[in-house]
Amino acid sequence: MRNFQADDDSILRQAMFDHLDRCLAGAQAEFLSSRVINTFEIQGQPIRLIVQSGIRKVQGHPGALTIRTTYTPPSAVPPYIDDVGSNGLVRYKYRGQDEGHSDNRALRHAMETGLPLAYFVGIAPGIYLPIYPVYVEAEDQSRHEFAIAVDQYLHGHDLDSIDTFQREYRTSVTKARLHQPSFRARVLHAYNSTCTICRLHHAELLDAAHILPDSHPQGLPIVPNALTLCKLHHAAFDRNLLGIRPDFVVEVKPELLREIDGPMLQHGLKEMNGTQLVLPKERASRPDRARLLERYEEFRSTK
């Protein structure tokens, strides 16, 4: 076995992305534990991808390999949601205040050479949503931060352009690649990837549903304003075919209870009437009763 060489940088990065692909293919969800992420090795040499510092460098490789954002508590809006720069990209703070710090130099090198990185977004203690490849696109020394493109389609744009359409496009891609998946990951993880109504445990059939919508002043992208629902129960909840009382009991629309149809109506909807939600173990992740009440009143008013 030979030692891994500095000129193998692109091989190292590709091997890391292949490793993450394999980890995700073997997982039941879009998020991974740091223990699984850190099983990476190349040519027999283990390389931890998540370390104590937010910025990961590997000896012999001048460009940063990974970056990380720590998780926020369930009831807080993660900082990266509010902190999209005017160029539509994610802001990523320097390590400390010193632009010459070796971690900041490693990010600058990645920026200058256009290297792809992996970005690990913390969604719970020790649990991360991996986003890759991402690119360091720009640096704002006065704000002590870099701008991160969270999708390859955002890489290599002219960020000084004042084209509003371009900026809006970049903002919408950032939302689709970072904000929505991290909200979904936080909510699904809180509910152990289980529909809160019927206990279906298949992430590919589950959604993170808002209790109060985005457009509502209290419709924040936080876990207590969300439920993990399967596709059927999400659609039924959105269309007020069923409601959820603030004491976490499911109510099915009376007209539906009187209908006679096949097994999906019977077992999937009618039998859910009067059942209790399956709630997250962590109290701080449970649905907020005030938001549920407001949403339940809307359900009642449509009867």
Of the pair 138, 272, the CB lying nearest Zn ion is at 272
Residue selected from 89, 195, 209, 223 as contacting Zn ion according to rule CB under 5 A? 195
- Beta-sheet pairing, 45-46 with 206-210: unpaired
Q: Are 139 and 85 spatial neighbours (Cβ–Cβ below 8 Å)?
A: no
Of the pair 68, 233, the CB lying nearest Zn ion is at 233
Among residues 24, 58, 66, 26, the alpha carbon closest in space to that of 42 is found at 58
Stretch that binds Zn ion, among 82-90, 115-123, 189-197, 257-265 (CB under 5 A): 189-197
- Distance of closest approach, residue 188 Cβ to Zn ion, in angstroms: 13
- Burial (CB < 10 A; 0-12, 13-18, 19+), residue 40, is buried
Residue selected from 20, 124, 154, 197 as contacting Zn ion according to rule CB under 5 A? 197
Question: What dihedral do alpha carbons 266, 267, 273, 277 form, nearest 10°?
Answer: -160
What is the C-alpha separation between 86 and 1, in angstroms, rounded? 48
Stretch that binds Zn ion, among 128-136, 173-181, 190-198, 276-284 (CB under 5 A): 190-198
Helix/strand/coil for 289: helix
Residue selected from 230, 242, 250, 269 as contacting Zn ion according to rule CB under 5 A? 230
Of the pair 166, 275, the CB lying nearest Zn ion is at 275
CA angle 298, 300, 303 (to 5 degrees): 115
Spatial CB neighbours of 52, under 8 Å, sequence gap ≥ 6 = none
Stretch that binds Zn ion, among 41-49, 181-189, 197-205, 294-302 (CB under 5 A): 197-205
Of the pair 56, 295, the CB lying nearest Zn ion is at 295
- Distance of closest approach, residue 232 Cβ to Zn ion, in angstroms: 6
What is the C-alpha separation between 289 and 282, in angstroms, rounded? 15
Query: Which three-class secondary structure string do you get for 163-204?
Result: CHHHHHHHHHHHHHHHHHHHHHHHHHHHCCCCCCCCCCCCHH
- Distance of closest approach, residue 198 Cβ to Zn ion, in angstroms: 3
Residue selected from 198, 206, 223, 252 as contacting Zn ion according to rule CB under 5 A? 198
- Distance of closest approach, residue 210 Cβ to Zn ion, in angstroms: 16
- Distance of closest approach, residue 229 Cβ to Zn ion, in angstroms: 6
The CA–CA distances, whole Å, from 240 to 151, 216, 234, 244, 250 equal: 36, 17, 10, 10, 12
Of the pair 47, 230, the CB lying nearest Zn ion is at 230
Under the binding rule (CB under 5 A), the answer on residue 149 touching Zn ion is: no
What is the C-alpha separation between 4 and 40, in angstroms, rounded? 14
Stretch that binds Zn ion, among 9-17, 68-76, 177-185, 198-206 (CB under 5 A): 198-206
- Using CB under 5 A as the binding criterion, the count of chain residues that bind Zn ion stands at 6
Residue selected from 233, 253, 286, 295 as contacting Zn ion according to rule CB under 5 A? 233
Give me the residues that bind Zn ion (CB under 5 A), please: 195, 197-198, 200, 230, 233
